[in-house]
Copies of this chain bind each other. A is one copy, B any other.
Amino acid sequence: MNVTQQRALDRQVMGWLDEAHTRILKRLDQHFHVSTKDGARDLVTDVDRETEQFYVGKIHEYNPHANILSEEGYGDAVSSLAGQVWFVDPIDGTMNFVTEHAEFATMLAVFEDGKPLLAWIMDVVNHEVIHGGPELGIWQNEQVLATPLNRDLNEGLMILSGYRLLRGEMALPEIARQALGFRIYGSAGISFMHVLRGQAVGYLSAMRPWDYAAGIVLAQSLQLRVGRVDGQPIDVLQSGSVVVATPSTYASIMTIEQSN
């Protein structure tokens, strides 16, 4: 897909996101059903399922041959990055969606034969979308997003996973201690947006493919570093503990992880 085709696809998906924004905000004013998946803190709602079905329908209309890896199971069983593969997280931060009616995201990413093409993260309530890719550049809505300043861990905010910090996993307490400050937001999408805008120096959490696929496409296009905390290469079809950070912060975190 050349850059002209990418630009056209970006415009098309921005239209899907406008429609999703309207649908999701309307659903917030209505009754929706909340249930649990894997434990009391892993929530899913009708709106997660409806929104995923909406995206899956749009993607299949755009490309009937696309493979879709999605959170709620309306996509495909994807075992390879051959061809065009989409990652879909309809409502990221469902607990925030349910309890706050705010601070949740919707995320899409598309790869072609393993190569990241384009990605989109929308802060739904604020209707802010960070989008683009390595060839198209990165935008927040209509504005070009610059590469964040290369601040180190002790010069900025680090965003962490709450319960993993509490359990002392992945050296998170030591990372928190060395950071200028740390925050817990409860949504991977909202956390990635803070790092992409340079509001935080990094984000570290255990994530599933749809939690981080869009984020790492956008981050790498902005010269941020992404990797697994165990030092293994990222396989975007696999879950893992993933860090995204400025180059300096990434180095500091990896030093902490290796001495852990």
A residues contacting B by CB (< 8 A) are 40-41, 95-96, 99-102, 154, 156-157, 162-163, 165-166, 173, 176-177, 180-186, 194, 199-200
User: Least Cβ distance of A95 to chain B in Å?
Assistant: 5
A41 and B101: CB pair below 8 A?
no
B40 and A180: CB pair below 8 A?
yes
Known: A95-B157, A157-B95, A200-B100. A182 touches B181 (CB 8 A): no
Residue of chain B at shortest CB distance from A199: B100
Partner of A41, one of B99, B181, B185: B181
User: Least Cβ distance of A260 to chain B in Å?
Assistant: 16
User: Chain B residues near A163 (CB, 8 Å)?
Assistant: 176
Partner of A99, one of B96, B100, B180, B184: B180
Known: A162-B176, A186-B157. A181 touches B95 (CB 8 A): yes
B181 and A186: CB pair below 8 A?
yes
User: Least Cβ distance of A227 to chain B in Å?
Assistant: 23
